Amino acid sequence: MSAVDLGGVDSPFRLLHRDARLVVIRKPPGWAVHRSDQARSGPFVLPALRDALGTAVFPVHRLDRPTAGALVLALDTDAQRALSAAFAERRVAKTYQAVVRGWPVAQVVDRPLRPLGGGDLQAAETAVHVLAVSEQPWPVGRFPSARFARLRCEPATGRWHQIRRHLAGIGHPIIGDVRHGDRHHNHLVEARLDLHRLGLWACELVLPHPDDGRPLRVTCPADRGLHRLLAGLGLGV
Q: What is the pLDDT of residues 93-150, one digit of tens each?
A: 999 999 999 999 999 999 999 998 888 999 999 999 999 999 999 999 889 999 999 9
- Please give the class, per CATH, of domain 4-232: alpha beta
pLDDT in tens, 86-109: 999 999 999 999 999 999 999 999
Enumerate the domain spans of the chain: 4-232
The yes-or-no answer on residue 64 being catalytic is yes
Q: Is the Cα torsion angle 156, 159, 160, 165 positive or negative in sign?
A: negative
Which is catalytic among the residues 19, 64, 177, 211?
64
Cα 146 off chain centre by: 24
pLDDT in tens, 181-221: 999 999 999 999 999 999 999 999 999 999 999 999 999 99
Query: What pTM does this model have?
Result: 0.92
Q: How far apart are CA 38 and CA 35, in angstroms?
A: 8
pLDDT higher than 50, residue 77: yes
Distances (CA, A) of 144 to 41, 130, 133, 140: 41, 23, 17, 6
